[in-house]
Amino acid sequence: MAGWTSDDARPLSRESLTALFDNEIPAIRIPAFAAPGECCAFADAMRQCTPRVVQGATEHSAPAFTGQPIVFIGLTQYEFKYRPMSDYLDAADASRAEVAPVLAAAFDPVERLMARLAPLSNGEVGIAQEPGGRRYSSTIIRNSNAGLSLHADFAPYQAPQLTVSACDAQLAWNFYAEVPAGPGGHTTIHNAPWHWQRGTAGEIAENYPLDPADVAGAESFTFRPEEGEVVLFNSRNPHEVFRVEDPGPKDRIGLATFIGRMPSGALHLWS
């Protein structure tokens, strides 16, 4: 595999965005994406919600992974990978009402990022939708103190029933509203793009967790998030979030969404 041309993150630009989609750099960081007051309002509003807690596993996942809780509001397509597309779209409609109080109390990071990406893209930037116009979910807000095991995300492998499966590259981006000061909570990205071969029509890849042997010897990039920043990386690269050892008065609270680069050059967002 080709090595990254830089061992550090780059600022957001047209050139760096293309390089990240093409896996030539490890990450893009956007500092001060949100003001301190916006971050506080966002995190406080999240705490007023009633989150769901899932163990980060499907019936196909390794038993050791079932003990890792993911606390969140909003929606992720991962929850619906073995269910009809209509179930996901129905849940996407409901999820917008679930996250609305947080966005109303602070700001909408998705809309802000799309505005930043629009002049840098070779096509339109928007929330992914089906041909009939039904929009996908575009927000998951989570407390990730417990970390996330090694995994990768790539819609062509995981969501063959959705329009985003036509993307030729995919990014993940995270807005960090609150970050604990204690040890842990860092993210490591491994330059070992996930490859999988579909055996039968409609087969869905298992991405969670991946075998650590898949990234053995690969170059890696580790970052500790800063409050108020956005970090983007190529989600086809296996990545892991380490558990916060001692959260103290703050939690690891952030918003996450995928960005797929479509053959037309358009950028479509979903979660």
pLDDT digits (tens, 9 = 90+) for 15-58: 999 999 999 999 999 999 999 999 999 999 999 999 988 765 44
Task: Tell whether 83 is covered by a domain.
Answer: yes
pLDDT digits (tens, 9 = 90+) for 57-79: 444 333 434 456 788 999 998 88
Integer Cα distance of 137 and 266 in angstroms: 18
CA-wise closest residue to 172 among 58, 65, 269: 269
Task: Tell whether 124 is covered by a domain.
Answer: yes
Q: Which stretches of 9-95 are assigned E, i.e. beta strand? A: 28-30, 52-54, 70-74
Q: Would you give the distance in Å from CA 207 to the centre of its chain?
A: 14
Cα end-to-end span (Å), the chain: 28
Integer Cα distance of 234 and 242 in angstroms: 18
CA-wise closest residue to 187 among 229, 129, 136: 229
Is residue 10 within 8 Å of 22, Cβ to Cβ?
A: no
Q: Would you give the distance in Å from CA 192 to the centre of its chain?
A: 18
Q: What's the structural domain count of the chain?
A: 1
CA 186 vs CA 60, 114, 251: distances in Å: 27, 25, 13
Strand partners for 53: 71
Task: Tell whether 80 is covered by a domain.
Answer: yes
Task: Tell whether 4 is covered by a domain.
Answer: no
Give the structural domain span for 83. Answer: 14-270
pLDDT digits (tens, 9 = 90+) for 207-253: 888 999 999 999 999 999 999 999 999 999 999 999 999 889 999 99
Tell me if residue 108 falls in helix, strand or coil: coil
pLDDT digits (tens, 9 = 90+) for 133-159: 999 999 999 999 999 999 999 999 999
CA-wise closest residue to 29 among 7, 9, 4: 9
Per-residue pLDDT, 202? 85
Task: Tell whether 2 is covered by a domain.
Answer: no
Task: Tell whether 1 is covered by a domain.
Answer: no
Task: For residue 67, give the DSSP letter.
Answer: G
CB contact set of 228 (below 8 Å; sequence gap of 6+): 31, 32, 33, 34, 35, 36, 38, 39, 176, 177
Q: What is the CATH number of the domain that holds 223?
A: 2.60.120.620
What single-letter amino acid sits at 168? D
Task: Tell whether 3 is covered by a domain.
Answer: no
Tell me if residue 211 falls in helix, strand or coil: coil
Task: Tell whether 9 is covered by a domain.
Answer: no
